[in-house]
Structure 1
């Protein structure tokens, strides 16, 4: 049961982070460490959001934003191998954080033609020690690159419209991962607790405001620390219960270049008032020696806070379905997830500006794995 269902569990959890709280995209799982023997996987997720809003007074009340969230593609890869009976290691490549917002032209919306993109890539190296009682400890380093750009064209409640742009260079930062786990293979039980440190970045940024001028600065921010609690356990023959809780320290994250703060009276391009906790619960079932299936639910609380116009997504509810086909040393896994995005109010300079209601997204995941 463990061999067939493990990959289903991983893909359900992976697609479960698509369009999650803040700008979370990968979930930073370390489940590959618990694969048997030598193992290699490649994964990809395609996400198609439908995110529209409607302006409220005093911002052209009732004007629609159009769909502001382009579809995006996320990939990942991982390799795990044993050193001896007690020691093993893994390498994980993922895109942990990301955002892409593009307000269409010609809508009459107060933020029309504004756009922003934030991308990241991370390579994580982990080393694990497991004793004979089933307990293990693991840890390692993560090197992460980030890059961002934005063009903000906002009509404001007071003063002239804002025409602002920023272009930030690629920057690399280093953080760490530490965790502990317990396994009992005879009942397919595993519980793991993983801490991901914040990673500091100081990004060279060129800002420009029409009518004010340009400024070359260094924008400092941290991608947030997080904790993942993940579990799985057999509940009947060929049946697995799995889930997890992920906490991310988004309240300490702020992308706030100097010139943008100056011309907006201290606002950030992208920030969040509260941390985000994501809950996931699912069940997997082995159908025969080749096929297994799984389903999971995920939930994030709607905070009802005021969000920036470059990040209008407050909470979510979702359902994921996944299936795995195994033949010899190969496994092919697919997963589908439907996300209902929480209703969100955005603001400009602290003034409520728009309501983003009844939005959703669909994520399709695919993974190919090979056991040596």
Structure 2
């Protein structure tokens, strides 16, 4: 059953680029705490989104760049009732590139990067209950180059192009994790509820802007942004010999996430650089199966409902549906898992440009190498 559970690791593979605004690249799972003995893992992922929109007959081209992700994890017992774990991952990220052409945002680029180190401690209580918690140290930085053509609303004639640039420092901040779990090892059953706190960052940004009508502006100023809090319910249970049912429900308070520096507000009032009006809940359900001592596999399906609201031009999707498959090969203490995931992205209409983004998709692949010792 443990090998079927390992194949269920697809839940964390290839998940990038398929959550609110395409910026969440780690689900911040604490599943590593429940591995047996000393355990280490390396995860690699690669996502290939295809996101295109149109406005006034003009095509944006694929504005979402391919990207890679990685994470490392290590877990060790500190006795019969206590475990510690260390996780290194990339909680959020963005790669936006509107290629050359006649689309109003042609030439626009944006990049968001983060890294996090999470230290966790788990303590086992009676009746198969355990509690856990820890700290997350996180860094974020970003840059953006926004080109936006302005047209006369009456005549439709071209007026001017706004050229806006932002580059921030790297800011470091702390958050925390708390959770509780219940297990029944005889049937590989486990339910865990994990709370990840919001992490506030104060970024210093160098901003420059050029517009023939509104003038040129440059400044170095501070602005705040919040990586939002989340609540995750993860579960699994054996339902037949060598067969595992697993899944999760994850809520993230994306309405608290905002990037809207001062100079950007001057050139683009009431259209934040990045903002979400609604929180998001993502549902995942999967089935894992052990086929032999060496091979096991899993299939997963995920769903994030659309909100129907306008989105930003740097993340023009609204919800998604996905399906993924994975397989694990076990040899002695080593397990190698590979997975692929297809994501159907929800259509959206963007703020400002009011372009329609429909029929978009992404393919993500991932690999995990794990070792028990």
TM-score normalised by the shorter chain: which range applies? over 0.9
Aligned to 1:143: 137
- Name the structure 2 match of 1:267: 271
Task: State the shift of 1:17 in Å.
Answer: 4.7
1:130 equivalenced with 2:129 (yes/no): no
Matches within 5 A, 1:48-197: 48-55=48-55, 61-105=56-100, 107-156=101-150, 160-197=160-197
How far has the Cα of 1:157 moved from its partner?
5.3
Query: In structure 2, what is the Cα distance between the partners aligned to 1:304 and 1:161?
Result: 30
Q: What pairs up with 1:194-343 in 2 under 5 angstroms?
A: 194-210=194-210, 211-343=215-347
1:131 deviates by: 2.0
Q: Quote the Cα distance in structure 2 between the aligned partners of 1:196 and 1:162.
A: 39
- Name the CA distance, whole Å, in 2 between partners of 1:230 and 1:12: 10
- In structure 2, the CA distance between the partners of 1:228 and 1:363, relative to structure 1 (3 Å rule), is same
Shift of residue 267, structure 1, vs aligned partner: 2.6
Deviation at 1:10, TM superposition (A): 2.2
Question: 1-side partners of 2:230 and 2:16: how far apart?
Answer: 14
User: Matched residues in 1 for 2:187 and 2:331: separation?
Assistant: 24
Q: Distance in 2 between matches of 1:267 and 1:62?
A: 22
Q: 1:245-280 CA distances to partner (integer Å, 9 max, x unpaired)?
A: 010100111011111112222431001110111000
Instruction: Please give the per-residue CA displacement for 1:144-165, whole angstroms capped at 9, x wherever unaligned.
Output: 0101000111123567432111
**CA offsets 1:177-236 (integer angstroms, 9 cap, x no match):** 000000000011000000000101011100011132201001211101001100000000
Gaps of 5+ in 1: 56-60
User: For the Cα contact (< 8 Å) 1:14–1:26, is it kept in 2?
Assistant: no
1:32: Cα distance to partner? 0.2
The residue aligned with 1:4 is: 3
Alignment check: 8 A CA contact 2:14 2:47 kept: no
Please report the RMSD computed on the Cα atoms of aligned residues, expressed in angstroms: 1.2
- CA–CA separation in structure 2 for the residues paired with 1:109 and 1:17: 27
Contact 2:13 2:365 in 1 (8 A): no
Match of 2:155 in 1: none
Q: Which residue of 1 aligns with 2:350?
A: 346
Counterpart in 2 of 1:46?
Answer: 46
Structure 1 outlier segments of 4+, above 6 Å: none
Once the two structures are TM-superposed, the CA of residue 80 in structure 1 deviates from its matched residue by 0.2
Give the structure-1-normalised TM-score.
0.95
